[in-house]
A and B are shown apart, each in its own frame.
Chain A
Amino acid sequence: MKTDKTDRTEKTEINGTGRRNAGGTNRIVGRGFLARTLMRFSELFENELYNNRYASMDGLWQAVDARMKVIVSLMFIVAANSSRSLAVLIGTGITAAVFAGTSRLNLRDYLRRVWKYLPVLVFVFSLPGASSWLIKGTPLLTIGPVYFTEAGLLTALRAALRTGDSLSFAFLLLASTRWADLMAGLSRMHIPDGFIAILNMAYRYIFLMASAGTEMMQARYLRTVGKISSAENRKYVGGAFGQLFVKVRRISEEVYQAMVLRGYQGTFAGAERRRLRMLDYLFLIVGAVILMILIIGGYIFG
């Protein structure tokens, strides 16, 4: 049985809460499953912190009603995903970046969270499929026994750009909107109240669960001495899931009792009805005009 040496031998520095601080000095370093899980949890807290900060800023997207933001985001995401024109795909990405700038999002953070990882991964993952192995034609670039045609490279580029465009608008939407406002907006758009109530409540508890998970992983790390087999570690994580479930069920029971004591009878309070303002309509119109410009661009550039 292979052993997982990385978790104990790696140099891991974890601060008290499992979060990375702003300066990045207490970074969680390592490649083992414990470090990776802790990194992921810290990313959750970090994202939440940034999102809250962005959502309270005084920018363009923050000023607009959540409903319109959802509609405009979906408009751009559908357009980008339906289009095969590079002009439309690049234009959508530029539009999102301009929106991010006018919404006072940190552009470095924006590029890191949107373009740095997933679109690059999708591009690389698409390369074998975009090579002469699957797409034949006139070689544009030859690497060893395989070559890439223009059409092949375009296929990979389109997939990456579409992924980035979708991520851009999803990020813009989440970063510029408080979760409660986003859910209220979705509720006004006829998404079932039951589903919204679940999302709202789940959102509150994911941080509690993440804290519990962080504590469990930290405790495991601190208790571990010597090498532990990979199979043993898998069993441990399985047990940890069971432990979390027991915790969740107890919290769920307590939450339910607290709700009943506060008069809960199975109905959910509907979202507050907010009137749409002139700016909201203007936002929708400008979004539609930009989309038309992009589609015309796609027509010109092909």
Chain B
Amino acid sequence: MHIPDGYIAPQVTVPALAAMVPVWKTSLNRVKNKVGEKNLPTLALGAAFSFTIMMMNVPVAGGSSAHAVGAVLIAVLLGPWAAVAAVSAALLIQALFFGDGGILAYGLNCLNMAVVMPFVGYAVYRALAGSSRPGSRRNVLSAAAGGYIGINAAALLAALEFGIQPALFHTASGAALYCPYPISVAVPAMAAAHLLVAGPLEAVITGAASAYVAKAAPDMFLQNQTAADGSIRLSGIAGAGADLASGEQPAQETKGFWARYRALLIPLFVLIALTPLGLLTKGTAWGEWGTDEVKKAVGYAPAGMQKMAEFWKALMPDYSIPVLGDRGGYIAAALVGIGLIVLLVFLLSLAAKRSGAEKKQ
């Protein structure tokens, strides 16, 4: 389920990353409204919990094992908005630490596993559980059903994200530039794996863990059940914290969201607005248009671009050097290019050493 970089075009991953920014902000605010200033330890420990359960293998039928996501479990125990922030933070640490999930694909992974999965799973859980007592058969089965449907919804979305790639991004001959599997292959493959293996696993884990918490620490479960509705505030220290927070707004919140983040949001919105243009450019990766393609797209080829094209052709006519044979030009160009890169990095490294030495003095 963790999408790596390389399978999805940046025209899809970057807008998804941008779209997640307001979702994270809303999730932080929602949790803050619910538990007050206690939000920081709740979410941080929630993230550590999410990270840990994604590391633990669960046996599947046949002697093999796989890991669960646990997003629905967190949504059932802490609320869906807390799950958004906690699972997102866990996914980032995972991407950096283990390379599980790409850096550009981080937004998409969050959308699938930290938004769609907990919300769909939680909605199913609430709809089925009704007013049943936590730990009761109905409540546990509802949590399990939430886990099953939540992970399948996320997998379906991931399959669609994979499946649209070959249709949108391919070469003139039709070869895929990113994920090669169309929707007709990606959806059944992902659905089969998740309906038959990952789904039941997630269901058992979600049901068993919620049953355990309801039995071992029912106060925690009940607190979250009521707080999730927004009708009852947490009691004790948590409640005091919530009251304190509602009375004294932290200094950083005095500046509006837009004022604080417009420098980040304006370019992101521009990027989102430009995305459909990117999706329409078939056959050529973004930013790699040749002069002919630019001419076709905008009506003329910029003079500078044409000049550059001629310059390169003049520099390496037919890309061949007599001594090295037909492919010699290519080899020479590659060696020159790599040599230049190595030289630049070494010069930079020398500068870093000198800079470090000066700092020590």
Contacts and interface: CB of A to CB of B under 8 A. Distances in A.
A237 B284 CA distance: 48
A203 B348 contact: no
Contacts of B176: 129, 134-135, 155
A242 B63 contact: no
Which has the most chain A C-beta neighbours within 10 Å: B97, B182, B330?
A: B97
Nearest to A175: B96
Contacts of A231: 204
Contact of B355 (A170, A255, A278): A278
Contact of A209 (B49, B98, B217): B49
A299 to B, nearest CB: 7
A297 B334 contact: yes
A173 interface: yes
A292 to B, nearest CB: 10
Interface stretch (A19-27, A139-147, A259-267): A259-267
B290 to A, nearest CB: 9
A162 B285 CA distance: 13
A170 B99 contact: yes
B351 A95 contact: no
B211 interface: yes
A197 B42 CA distance: 12
A235 B58 CA distance: 9
A129 B181 contact: yes
Interface string A177-205: 00000000000001011110111111101
B112 interface: no
A173 to B, nearest CB: 7
Interface residues of A, number: 134
Interface string B56-71: 1111111101001010
Which of B36, B174, B333, B349 has most chain A Cβ within 10 Å?
B349
B4 A166 contact: yes
B175 A159 contact: no
Report whether over half of chain A's contact residues are helix, strand or loop; otherwise say mixed. helix
B263 A202 contact: no
B99 A243 contact: no
Nearest to A131: B180
Given A43-B98, A170-B95, A206-B93, A230 B59 contact: yes
Contacts of A300: 312, 316, 319, 330, 333
A95 B337 CA distance: 11
A265 B248 contact: yes
A195 B24 contact: yes
Interface stretch (B5-13, B119-127, B153-161, B296-304): B5-13
B89 A260 contact: no
Contacts of A235: 204, 208
Nearest to B58: A237
Contact of B57 (A33, A160, A174, A294): A33
B355 A279 contact: yes
Contact of B175 (A152, A163, A283): A152
A123 B172 CA distance: 22
A37 B261 contact: no
Q: Determine the main DSSP class of B at the interface with A.
A: helix
Contact of B352 (A5, A206, A208, A279): A279
B65 A32 contact: yes
B337 A122 contact: no
A208 to B, nearest CB: 7
Contacts of A199: 44, 47, 89, 92-93
A299 B251 CA distance: 52
Interface in A241-258: 241-246, 248-249, 251-253, 255-257
B286 to A, nearest CB: 5
A149 B173 CA distance: 11
B177 interface: yes
B28 A81 contact: no
B45 interface: yes
A84 to B, nearest CB: 4
A111 interface: no
Interface in B69-108: 70, 73, 77, 85-86, 89-90, 92-93, 95-99, 102-104
B103 A244 contact: no
Contacts of B229: none
A250 B316 CA distance: 69
A47 B98 contact: yes
A210 interface: yes
A118 interface: yes
Given A209-B52, A301-B334, A264 B345 contact: no
9 contacts: A84-B177, A84-B288, A98-B341, A190-B260, A202-B51, A213-B56, A264-B37, A290-B345, A300-B312
Given A63-B356, A155-B177, 15 more contacts: A4-B59, A5-B63, A40-B56, A81-B6, A98-B341, A135-B174, A149-B175, A155-B175, A158-B6, A163-B102, A195-B89, A198-B89, A202-B43, A242-B211, A290-B344
